[in-house]
Structure 1
């Protein structure tokens, strides 16, 4: 199994530590801790290390919770805390592949609809399944589902 994503994260921690970049080091260590917890949670299923696509999902969930926090901090007038969360989001996003968006996403959805023969919102699951199979890590599922729903609606 290719461990390059894990190696990238470990290398980034070392680089940030050598650069004495405390905020970046802290965020990267947070990613490592979350990854370790996720690996441990997968052990009963016989998995010693989760694959990259699950690491991407974990990173996206970390980003989503931080975006929610940014919204709440801004509503509460806590700009410095919102800025800290946004800085963490930027570091986490460095490890995600470029996400499909705009025209590329529309084309991928059109191809998945054609491939599955989907004709209505009832077929949304089939289209999402086909998209995940082909583009997995490059999908932001929230954006993709909304776009599929619109395309089928």
Structure 2
């Protein structure tokens, strides 16, 4: 079953169970998927659906930090609930050691020699790690690896 089908089935079960927060969050995912399909006239693959969900997770994390900084814990709690639902669709994350191993392998593959090769390395790593690793952490690991060269 594709991720898109899984989301549709989860939406139906959330409707039946009257889970308002889960239903609302899944509807947001569905709306974002349909928007992408209409805008780009494509059929979404699991990779594209994961990219959409990853973007939504990043938005929620940003919102949580902003709401907490502004003293709006009630809104931060709503965002945290949505974040938990969105995170359930993401594949298992990689450990720090696995990310470091991927960065090291990519440095060897691309023959990166210094900070000027950062873009080339990130381009090589993004398809491999998208959805499974926080790309900000990967970026920091790449910078450290390139600084050591």
* TM-score (norm: length of structure 2): 0.90
Unmatched segments (≥5 aa) in structure 2: none
Give, in angstroms, the shift of residue 93 of structure 1: 0.9
Corresponding position of 1:8: 6
Please give the secondary structure, in 2, of the residue aligned with 1:77: coil
Unmatched segments (≥5 aa) in structure 1: none
Give, in angstroms, the shift of residue 34 of structure 1: 0.9
Alignment deviations for residues 50-97 of structure 1 (CA, whole Å, 9 cap, x no partner)? 222222111111111111111111112111110100110110111111
Q: 1:75 aligns with which of 30, 52, 69?
A: 69
Q: Following superposition, which runs of at least 4 residues in structure 1 exceed 3 angstroms of deviation?
A: 133-137
Does structure 1 residue 95 correspond to structure 2 residue 110? no
Map 1:1-150 → 2, pairs under 5 A: 4-43=2-41, 47=42, 49-150=43-144
Is contact 1:42–1:50 with CA below 8 Å preserved after alignment? no
Give, in angstroms, the shift of residue 100 of structure 1: 2.3
Alignment deviations for residues 22-66 of structure 1 (CA, whole Å, 9 cap, x no partner)? 1111111111111111111111xxx2x122222211111111111
Aligned residues: 147
**Mapped partners of 1:147, 1:42: distance in 2:** 33
Please give the secondary structure, in 2, of the residue aligned with 1:100: coil
**Mapped partners of 2:81, 2:127: distance in 1:** 31
The root-mean-square deviation of aligned C-alpha atoms, in Å, is: 1.5
